[in-house]
Structure 1
Amino acid sequence: MRIDIEDLHVAYAGRTVVAGAHLIAAEGEITGLVGPNGSGKSTLLRTVYRHLKPTAGRVLLAGTDLRELSAVQSARHVAALPQERGSDFELSVREVVAMGRTPYKRAFAGEDAADRDIVARALADVGMDDQAGRRFTALSGGERQRVLLARAFAQDPDVLVLDEPTNHLDIRHQVELLALLRTQRRTTLVSLHDLNAAASVCDRLHVLHAGSVVASGRPRGVLTPALMAAVFGVRAAVVDHPLTGDPLIAFDHRAPADAEPAAAVETHTGA
């Protein structure tokens, strides 16, 4: 399913955080949101998984305004891994992942064979199948992250919304998670701080700055030295990754950039 965000405005804690954002997450593609802290990435994602209501504009799921769907209907289509992650589940790992099947169950209905298969597959996908009996509260931060991602997979959604999914993960599990997202081929909207990871895994990027989308397109067209300077305030060179051929951003860690204003960046820099 395709996500269209049209002229989105979101206010949070008394101030406008997202102002007039337009972007598309195409069906079956991984669409990345990148930008400095405070640029509005998480706030925008919260409107997609209905944690926040926009003050203006709308979010369309396959052409239907999300606000026209019931909570259950929305949960059958959109699964989220937010940054606000529960840590107080007095449940086993398997029980946490099984919560992803809730939108499909009648009140007090038990699991069936299909539910059990989906939960088992989700645990295996994130490499936690051998930890199914452990208490969620006993896990490390990275392990919890993987379990909550498995819960999102168990929801069997058309759309995944992931807010900094590689947080707390070591390098190996970061690589495995991003590779897994590529194999899922679900419509995925993901925010990432790691620009090189975004360049590698995302089909399309939207760059946010001060609540507005200032650049959109394929990673190679978007992640330019000029944009690095204007939006992130750093000097950088963009070269080909020696192993994959993806854009690889090499940062100058010795000095910041003499940045042009972010408004100087082209709004659309790639098809």
Structure 2
Amino acid sequence: MNVGIEDLHVAYAGRNVVAGVHLMAAAGEIAGLVGPNGSGKSTVLRTVYRHLRPAAGRVLLAGADIRTLTPGQTARHVAALPQERGSDFELTVREVVAMGRTPYKRAFAGEDRDDRETVARSLAAVGMAGQDARRFAALSGGERQRVLLARAFAQDPDVLVLDEPTNHLDVRHQVELLALLRAQRRTTLISLHDLNAAASLCDRLHVLHGGRVVASGAPRAVLTPELLAEVFGVRAAVTEHPLTGDPLIAFDHRRLPPSSPASGAGPDGEG
């Protein structure tokens, strides 16, 4: 299922945070949103999973305006892993992941075999098989992250919306997560701060700056030293990864480019 965002505007306290954003993810494509803090990445993603209503513009799923769908219909198509994640669930790991099956259940309906198999498969996919009975609140940050991702997988969506999913994950689990997302080949919108991870994972990148898309395209075409200096305020060289052949960004940690723009957080602290 393809996703299109047309002329999106979102305002906080009378100030435009996202202004005229156009971007897309083709069916089965992993589209990354990158940009400095406050550029509007999380705000754009929140409109896709309907946490925010835009002031203007549309989010389209396979050409249909998402606002014409009921919340239940949306939940069958779109699963989200937002940045703000609950840590006080008095539930087991299995119960949290089983919440992903809710869009497919009638009121008061119990689990069936398909639900149980989907939950087990989702936990195994994120490396949490056998952890069903643990309390969610007792997990580490990285474990919670993986359980919530399993809940999104259990939803069996056409579209995944992931806001900084590698946060709290150690290096091994970051690599495993990126490999898992690549193997799924499910339409995915993902925001990432790690530009090298974005270059490795994404088929297409949309670079946001000041609430607007300033560049879109394949990672190799988008992540140039000139763009990195202008948008991120860093001095960098872009080479080829010796193992994968992906673009590899080497940052100069000793000095910034001339007239480097200051980077600040947006009104909600989003990235």
Name the TM-score, length of structure 1 as normaliser: 0.95
After superposition, give the CA deviation of every residue in 1:28-78 in whole Å (9 maximum; x if it has no partner). Answer: 010000000000000000000000000000000000000000000000000
Counterparts of residues 86-235 of structure 1 (less than 5 Å): 86-235=86-235
What is the CA distance between 1:13 and its match in structure 2? 4.0
Residue equivalent to 1:83: 83
Residue equivalent to 1:23: 23
Q: What amino acid is the match of 1:226?
A: E
What is the CA distance between 1:231 and its match in structure 2? 0.1
After superposition, give the CA deviation of every residue in 1:184-235 in whole Å (9 maximum; x if it has no partner). Answer: 1100000000000000000000000000000000000000000000000000
4+ residue runs over 4 A deviation: none
Secondary structure of 2:130's aligned partner:
helix
Alpha-carbon distance between aligned partners in 2 of 1:155 and 1:259, rounded to the nearest angstrom: 46
Equivalent pair of 1:235/1:251 in contact (CA under 8 Å):
yes
Residue equivalent to 1:63: 63
Alpha-carbon distance between aligned partners in 2 of 1:14 and 1:183, rounded to the nearest angstrom: 42
Residue equivalent to 1:265: none
Equivalent pair of 1:25/1:188 in contact (CA under 8 Å):
yes
Aligned residues: 261
Secondary structure of 1:130's aligned partner:
coil
Alpha-carbon distance between aligned partners in 2 of 1:154 and 1:86, rounded to the nearest angstrom: 18
Counterparts of residues 239-254 of structure 1 (less than 5 Å): 239-254=239-254
Q: What amino acid is the match of 2:159?
A: V
Secondary structure of 1:18's aligned partner:
strand
Equivalent pair of 1:30/1:202 in contact (CA under 8 Å):
yes
After superposition, give the CA deviation of every residue in 1:50-108 in whole Å (9 maximum; x if it has no partner). Answer: 00000000000000000000000000000000001011110000000000000000000
The alignment-based identity, stated in percent, is 81
Secondary structure of 2:22's aligned partner:
strand
What is the CA distance between 1:141 and its match in structure 2? 0.3
Alpha-carbon distance between aligned partners in 1 of 2:83 and 2:13, rounded to the nearest angstrom: 17
Equivalent pair of 1:229/1:259 in contact (CA under 8 Å):
no
Alpha-carbon distance between aligned partners in 2 of 1:228 and 1:59, rounded to the nearest angstrom: 28
Alpha-carbon distance between aligned partners in 2 of 1:107 and 1:13, rounded to the nearest angstrom: 38
Alpha-carbon distance between aligned partners in 2 of 1:18 and 1:24, rounded to the nearest angstrom: 16
Alpha-carbon distance between aligned partners in 2 of 1:185 and 1:55, rounded to the nearest angstrom: 32
Alpha-carbon distance between aligned partners in 2 of 1:14 and 1:116, rounded to the nearest angstrom: 46
Alpha-carbon distance between aligned partners in 1 of 2:259 and 2:236, rounded to the nearest angstrom: 12
Residue equivalent to 2:11: 11
Secondary structure of 2:254's aligned partner:
strand
Q: Does 1:41 pair with 2:41?
A: yes
Equivalent pair of 2:234/2:260 in contact (CA under 8 Å):
no
Alpha-carbon distance between aligned partners in 2 of 1:10 and 1:2, rounded to the nearest angstrom: 22
RCO (CA 8 Å, sep 6+): is it higher in 1 or 2? 2
Equivalent pair of 2:66/2:74 in contact (CA under 8 Å):
yes
Secondary structure of 2:149's aligned partner:
helix
What is the CA distance between 1:11 and its match in structure 2? 1.1
Residue equivalent to 1:267: none
Equivalent pair of 1:234/1:259 in contact (CA under 8 Å):
no
What is the CA distance between 1:259 and its match in structure 2? 4.8
Equivalent pair of 1:21/1:213 in contact (CA under 8 Å):
yes
Alpha-carbon distance between aligned partners in 1 of 2:45 and 2:13, rounded to the nearest angstrom: 16
Q: What amino acid is the match of 1:249?
A: I
What is the CA distance between 1:15 and its match in structure 2? 2.1
- Flag structure 2 segments of 5+ consecutive residues without an equivalent: 262-271
Name the TM-score, length of structure 2 as normaliser: 0.95
Q: What amino acid is the match of 2:47?
A: T
- Flag structure 1 segments of 5+ consecutive residues without an equivalent: 262-271
What is the CA distance between 1:260 and its match in structure 2? 7.7
